[in-house]
């Protein structure tokens, strides 16, 4: 559950957005004036703010500017019925995460809200005895994890931090690619300069082109010039239109040439990092991503592992989010009982770190007497599902997040094993009862070798 602030002078739109965000499980505050919006922003310090461009008593860009200066951790989405390239680019420059034009589909709003919340960056160092970062993690910008995979990434960061070669981060959505990019920036000699992020899937092609290369009307300010001396991260670069891929390849080639010749202008002097939730090599093979650009941006490739492959980091991350939530709400850090911890470690986390953060916020909201129990966790984490059969409700524990084929195989083996018990261990009777051949029974039970021994007798 996140805190969301809505600012829009149209009551109908405000009500619609409020209902949509509430249905997503968030704590929503809605106001109709810019003055009320600024007051609520300073008081609530929301996780995400959705603000209209033209509110009546104030320009939404002024609110975005104030948010960026005073509340940099608040993600901002701008909504307007007066869309143009200029206002969109200005909103992005001031720190807005995304831009929606009225009328918009609720599905687009909900997707953008979730993307915005996923992109929130936790503070690098959080005080408290329950959460401690290793020295190398602090030096590299606050990455969280003691697993071998995370420690290997930290070692890579330490080696390449001051190398200006492009970096390609690949990994599932929510796995922490932006945190890796920020860690590279924070550990480098560029850490005093801006770190700018552009989501390639968040803007239409014309706005994306304007942000990357300026506009035909002569506007030369781009994300690269705003990050001069610092780092630029292009997220989900596999979504970059092919036409812009060609322009980006040309631009990066020019940067490389000028850098070698010692003639690189300040506005072009940035560290380039790209990220993708889809393996770019597959995109190249499918013909949707230019091969020349792929080789240019993947000089230093880093694979960011999903949370399920580093189970040993789950407890550390969970404690971190609990401390963060307690600090924000001014409450005592709740204790997670051992049964809840087992469930956290046993869940596959398809939404990765972002899903874990949301789960811990929900648990804090439902916890009683400073203790988080299994009942306080999201249903999909506890894997409890209520199913109605013949008007009778039963509760089943299902491993939500596990692949269907793996689940089916496991259930088949369980059913066969119980049927074998029922038949006193007779495989022939079991095969007959299940309506399968004896060969199929052995295959499903993984008993091929044993079958061969029996056959040879």
Q: Is residue 434 part of a domain?
A: yes
Domain closes at, from 354, 386, 418: 386
Q: Which span out of 83-92, 140-149, 313-322 was modeled with the highest average pLDDT?
A: 313-322
Q: Structurally, how many domains does the chain consist of? A: 4
Q: Is residue 140 part of a domain?
A: no
Q: What is the dihedral of CA 360, 361, 363, 364, to 10 degrees?
A: 120
Is the pLDDT at 394 greater than 80? The verdict is no
Please tell me whether residues 12 and 78 are part of one structural domain. yes
- pLDDT value, residue 83: 55
Range of the domain at 340: 308-386
Q: What's the burial of 148, exposed, middle or buried (CB within 10 Å: 0-12/13-18/19+)?
A: exposed
**8 Å CB contact between 271 and 230:** yes
In terms of Cα–Cα distance, which of 208, 194, 168 is closest to 72? Answer: 194
- pLDDT value, residue 130: 31
> What is residue 157's three-state secondary structure?
helix
Residues 7-34 have pLDDT tens digits of: 998 888 898 899 888 887 788 999 999 9
Please tell me whether residues 173 and 216 are part of one structural domain. yes
Please tell me whether residues 186 and 175 are part of one structural domain. yes
Domain closes at, from 386, 420, 443: 386
Q: Is residue 130 part of a domain?
A: no
Domain closes at, from 305, 325, 353: 305
- pLDDT value, residue 387: 56
Please tell me whether residues 333 and 370 are part of one structural domain. yes
The proportion of the chain whose per-residue pLDDT surpasses 70, expressed as a percent, equals 85
- pLDDT value, residue 250: 94
Is the pLDDT at 358 greater than 60? The verdict is yes
Q: Is residue 106 part of a domain?
A: yes
Please tell me whether residues 219 and 285 are part of one structural domain. yes
Q: Is residue 395 part of a domain?
A: no
**Beta strands of 53-174 (E only): which ranges?**
75-80, 98-101, 167-170
- 44 Cβ contact list (under 8 Å, min separation 6): 3, 5, 29
Please tell me whether residues 158 and 75 are part of one structural domain. no
* Distance between CA atoms of residues 441 and 447, nearest Å: 8
Please tell me whether residues 215 and 271 are part of one structural domain. yes
- Phi and psi based region of residue 291 (left: phi greater than 0; alpha: psi -120 to 50; beta: remaining): alpha
| Greater pLDDT, 392 or 94 | 94
Q: Is residue 13 part of a domain?
A: yes
Does this model's pTM top 0.75?
no
CATH code of 9's domain: 3.40.50.2300
- pLDDT value, residue 58: 86
Please tell me whether residues 301 and 152 are part of one structural domain. yes
Please tell me whether residues 103 and 178 are part of one structural domain. no
Residues 267-306 have pLDDT tens digits of: 899 999 999 999 999 999 999 999 999 999 999 999 999 9
Q: Is residue 102 part of a domain?
A: yes
133-147, 179-193, 301-315: least confident range: 133-147
> What is residue 19's three-state secondary structure?
helix
Please tell me whether residues 168 and 189 are part of one structural domain. yes
């Amino acid at each position: 559950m996140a805190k969301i602030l809505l600012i829009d002078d149209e009551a109908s739109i405000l009500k619609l957005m409020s209902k949509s965000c509430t249905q997503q499980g968030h704590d929503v505050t809605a106001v109709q004036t810019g003055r009320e919006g600024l007051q609520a922003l300073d008081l609530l310090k929301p996780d995400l703010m959705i603000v209209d461009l033209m509110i009546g008593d104030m320009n939404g860009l002024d609110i975005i500017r104030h948010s960026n200066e005073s509340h940099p951790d608040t993600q901002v989405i701008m909504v307007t019925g007066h869309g143009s390239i200029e206002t969109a680019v200005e909103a992005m420059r001031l720190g807005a995460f995304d831009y929606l034009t009225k009328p918009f589909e609720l599905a687009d709003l909900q997707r953008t809200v979730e993307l915005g919340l996923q992109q929130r960056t936790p503070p690098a160092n959080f005080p408290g005895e329950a959460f401690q970062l290793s020295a190398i993690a602090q030096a590299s910008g606050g990455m969280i994890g003691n697993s071998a995979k995370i420690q290997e990434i930290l070692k890579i960061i330490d080696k390449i931090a001051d190398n200006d070669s492009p970096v390609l981060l690949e990994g599932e959505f929510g796995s922490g690619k932006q945190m890796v990019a920020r860690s590279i920036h924070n550990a480098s000699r560029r850490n005093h300069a801006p770190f700018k992020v552009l989501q390639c899937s968040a803007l239409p092609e014309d706005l994306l082109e304007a942000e990357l290369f300026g506009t035909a009307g002569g506007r030369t300010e781009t994300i690269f010039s705003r990050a001069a001396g610092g780092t630029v991260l292009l997220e989900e670069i596999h979504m970059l239109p092919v036409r812009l891929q060609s322009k980006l390849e040309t631009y990066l080639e020019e940067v490389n040439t000028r850098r070698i010749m010692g003639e690189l202008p300040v506005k072009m002097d940035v560290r380039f990092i790209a990220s993708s939730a889809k393996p770019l090599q597959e995109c190249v093979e499918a013909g949707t991503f230019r091969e020349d650009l792929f080789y240019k941006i993947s000089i230093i490739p880093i694979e960011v592992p999903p949370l399920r492959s580093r189970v040993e980091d789950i407890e550390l991350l969970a404690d971190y989010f609990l401390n963060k939530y307690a600090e924000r709400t001014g409450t005592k850090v709740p204790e997670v009982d051992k049964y809840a911890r087992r469930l956290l470690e046993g869940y596959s986390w398809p939404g990765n770190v972002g899903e874990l953060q949301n789960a811990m916020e929900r648990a804090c909201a439902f916890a009683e007497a400073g203790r988080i129990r299994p009942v306080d966790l999201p249903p999909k984490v506890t894997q409890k599902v209520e199913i109605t059969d013949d008007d009778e409700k039963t509760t089943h524990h299902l491993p939500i997040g596990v692949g269907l084929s793996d689940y089916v195989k496991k259930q088949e083996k369980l059913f066969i094993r119980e049927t074998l018990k029922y038949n006193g261990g007779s495989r022939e009777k079991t095969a007959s009862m299940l309506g399968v051949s004896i060969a199929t029974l052995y295959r499903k039970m993984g008993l091929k070798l044993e079958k061969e021994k029996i056959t040879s007798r």
